[in-house]
């Protein structure tokens, strides 16, 4: 594997709307990110990914872009963006933007022109098809619920939107449009960006061989994932995008790509892959409150372990995966993986560490480093996201009561991760002087950055220690490139692995049980690199781990 500049990435995702407001409008902004660059440097990260801040009507919180070249005034100006790139650079931090090119906003000039004149060249920038009699062209269900087609005025034509109807899908079959997109990507990269996180990229290619399928839900529609995710021919677009933009800039690119067939992983993340690495969600989709896992936390841990190790195995020999647990589309990992009664510093630091020392690069999501939690709502009206409402209505359609549907969205909805960042215990958690666009979680008096910064035993301090360890000069390469060898797979509730690299051996053991566990030790423990308890009990060829103890140690 060729060595690349970004291989030592410890990334940090920012949801700008909720990070730090500096002008009192209740919405986070670029100045707010600049204000906290020193804090982020102090944490030890070296890459920031910003969720979209381009001009947008915000139907999907910025994932509906109406002008790719302008920063939305709610976040600041293009000049401030340049300042952020420069200021971050001074601190050894590269900035990634979000690249959303599967779709635009319906307010984008191209779409407006396409609607105004269906015979103009702009109509071919989008996917527009004749209806099937009085029905849409087919019965695809949009990812956010409802038909994926929207009728155009009083014509019998429809445009495709895999997400909300405010996000019409772009027609990647159009070579002219592709060139326009590449030019735009290059303009941003020329400005000094480190690269991009690339949104919904597995959907660029659509396979219209699909004719109506039997409905698979009470809405009369059918899921058609196979026809618009990783569809045959997607590689042509991804390859061209890479060759014409990312590759000449030596950019760090992280594709949001799920369900890549293991045998194709090399095409995605290999030395010559379409992307540097990918965010794959297969290990994040657990919830201790789900029917499936409730009362079976150990089975859930076993399944998690299998998925993590399988991924390590697939990626070996190809490239590096991105190790993460949280982002703006998930609820908080603490809530997903740890039963309520067991949430404590020990379980939280253990959870943080499980992913952290695997082979690959690391990404954190804002607030994860201080253990921010989900904010349960009492009414559906307290939520703001279209996806939440669509899910809620879908549950009602399936026959759930309002209480049941609310409980379900309260458990799983992505908005939980979007509450404002909790900086201190003062007004609005220090996020804004104005009225926050989304309610601050009232637990901010207890859980906040400032308090944890002063406490060397806090979760924040533990994250700093983990990052410092991954960057330790004599171990950095072992953590990035070393092989991952699962250990203690016969033990319930244990996620343990060894990292081996050029004669070095490091053992990471995580006891996900609430109770003490005794493990036979076949090796001699060397330097203890990190331990979330004060002591490690070793003796008589055994190691005894307390509930939720996690230890990273050298092996002799």
Active site residues: 199, 256
Nearest-approach distance from CB 17 to ligand BGC, in angstroms: 12
Nearest-approach distance from CB 49 to ligand BGC, in angstroms: 11
Total residues contacting ligand BGC (rule CB under 6 A)?
9
- 199 near ligand BGC, judged by CB under 6 A: yes
- The residue from 60, 335, 348, 415 that contacts ligand BGC (CB under 6 A) is 60
- 106 near ligand BGC, judged by CB under 6 A: no
Candidates 284, 334, 302; CA nearest to 513 is 302
Angle between helical axes of 459-470 and 345-356 (0-180°, round to 10): 20
- 115 near ligand BGC, judged by CB under 6 A: no
Residue with the shortest CB distance to ligand BGC: 63
**Cα separation, 390 vs 219, whole angstroms:** 12
- The residue from 99, 181, 200, 352 that contacts ligand BGC (CB under 6 A) is 200
- Token pair 């207890």 is at which residue? 446
> 65 or 507: whose CB is closer to ligand BGC?
65
- The residue from 12, 110, 158, 163 that contacts ligand BGC (CB under 6 A) is 163
Q: What is the DSSP string of 135-170?
A: B-SS-BBPTTSSBSEEE-TTSSEEEE-SS-TTSPBB
Can you tell me whether residue 94 is helix, strand or coil? strand
- 63 near ligand BGC, judged by CB under 6 A: yes
168 touches 103 (CB < 8 A): yes
Residue 112, CA distances (Å) to 73, 85, 203, 210 in order: 21, 32, 23, 28
> 328 or 470: whose CB is closer to ligand BGC?
328
- 317-336: contacts with ligand BGC (CB under 6 A): 328-329
**Cα separation, 157 vs 152, whole angstroms:** 6
> 329 or 374: whose CB is closer to ligand BGC?
329
Nearest-approach distance from CB 318 to ligand BGC, in angstroms: 23
- 412 near ligand BGC, judged by CB under 6 A: no
Nearest-approach distance from CB 320 to ligand BGC, in angstroms: 21
Q: Is 112 left (phi over 0), alpha (psi -120 to 50) or beta?
A: alpha
Nearest-approach distance from CB 390 to ligand BGC, in angstroms: 11
> 200 or 234: whose CB is closer to ligand BGC?
200
Nearest-approach distance from CB 101 to ligand BGC, in angstroms: 10
Q: Count of CB atoms within 10 A of residue 422's CB?
A: 28
300 touches 288 (CB < 8 A): yes
> 65 or 460: whose CB is closer to ligand BGC?
65
- The residue from 21, 72, 169, 256 that contacts ligand BGC (CB under 6 A) is 256
**Cα separation, 260 vs 377, whole angstroms:** 35
387 touches 349 (CB < 8 A): no
**Cα separation, 305 vs 9, whole angstroms:** 23
Question: Which H or E run includes 182?
Answer: helix 175-190
> 348 or 415: whose CB is closer to ligand BGC?
415
**Cα separation, 4 vs 360, whole angstroms:** 12
Where do contacts with ligand BGC occur on this chain (CB under 6 A)?
Answer: 60, 63, 100, 163, 199-200, 256, 328-329
């Amino acid at each position: 594997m060729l060595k690349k500049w970004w291989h030592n990435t410890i990334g940090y995702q920012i949801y700008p709307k909720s990070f730090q407001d500096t002008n009192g409008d209740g919405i986070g902004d670029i100045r707010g990110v600049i204000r906290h660059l020193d804090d982020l440097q102090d944490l030890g990260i070296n890459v920031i990914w910003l969720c979209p801040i381009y001009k947008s009507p915000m139907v999907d919180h910025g994932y509906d872009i109406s002008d790719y070249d302008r920063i939305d005034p709610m976040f600041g100006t293009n000049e401030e963006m340049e300042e952020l790139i420069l200021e971050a650079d001074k601190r050894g931090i590269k900035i990634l933007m979000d690249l959303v090119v599967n779709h635009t906003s319906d307010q984008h000039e191209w779409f407006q022109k396409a609607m105004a004149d269906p015979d103009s060249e702009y109509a071919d920038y989008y996917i527009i098809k004749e209806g099937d009699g009085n029905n849409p062209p087919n019965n695809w269900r949009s990812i956010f619920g409802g038909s994926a087609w929207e009728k155009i005025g009083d014509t019998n034509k429809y445009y495709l939107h895999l997400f909300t109807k405010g996000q019409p899908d772009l027609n990647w079959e159009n070579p002219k449009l592709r060139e326009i997109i590449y030019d735009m990507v290059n303009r941003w990269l020329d400005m000094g960006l480190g690269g991009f996180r690339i949104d919904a990229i597995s959907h660029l290619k659509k396979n219209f061989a699909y004719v109506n399928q039997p409905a698979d839900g009470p809405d009369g529609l059918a899921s058609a994932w196979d026809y618009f995710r990783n569809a045959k021919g997607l590689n042509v677009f991804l390859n061209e995008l890479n060759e014409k933009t990312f590759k000449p800039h030596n950019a760090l690119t992280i594709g949001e790509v799920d369900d890549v067939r293991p045998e194709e992983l090399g095409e995605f993340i290999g030395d010559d892959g379409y992307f540097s690495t990918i965010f794959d969600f297969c290990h994040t989709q657990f919830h201790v409150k789900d029917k499936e896992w409730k009362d079976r936390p150990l089975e859930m841990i076993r399944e998690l372990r299998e998925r993590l190790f399988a991924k390590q195995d697939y990626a070996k020999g190809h490239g590096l995966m991105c190790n993460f647990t949280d982002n703006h589309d998930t609820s908080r990992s603490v809530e997903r993986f740890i039963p309520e009664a067991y949430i404590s510093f020990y379980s939280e630091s253990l959870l943080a560490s499980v992913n952290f020392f695997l082979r690959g690069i690391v990404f954190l999501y804002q607030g994860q480093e201080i253990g921010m939690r989900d904010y349960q709502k009492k009414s559906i009206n307290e939520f703001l996201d279209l996806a939440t409402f669509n899910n809620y209505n879908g549950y009602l359609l399936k026959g759930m009561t309002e209480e049941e549907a609310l409980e379900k969205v309260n458990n799983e909805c992505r908005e939980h991760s979007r509450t404002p960042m909790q900086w201190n215990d003062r007004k609005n958690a220090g996020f804004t002087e104005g009225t926050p666009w989304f309610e601050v979680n009232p637990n901010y008096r207890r859980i906040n950055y400032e308090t944890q910064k002063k406490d060397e035993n806090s979760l924040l301090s533990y994250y700093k220690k983990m990052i410092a360890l991954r960057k330790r000069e004599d171990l950095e390469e072992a953590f990035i490139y070393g092989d991952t060898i699962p250990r203690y797979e016969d033990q319930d509730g244990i996620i343990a692995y060894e990292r081996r690299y050029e004669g070095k051996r490091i053992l990471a053991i995580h006891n996900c049980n609430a109770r003490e566990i005794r493990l036979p030790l076949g090796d001699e423990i060397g330097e203890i690199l990190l331990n979330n308890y004060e002591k490690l009990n070793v003796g008589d060829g055994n190691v005894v781990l307390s509930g939720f103890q996690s230890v990273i140690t050298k092996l002799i």
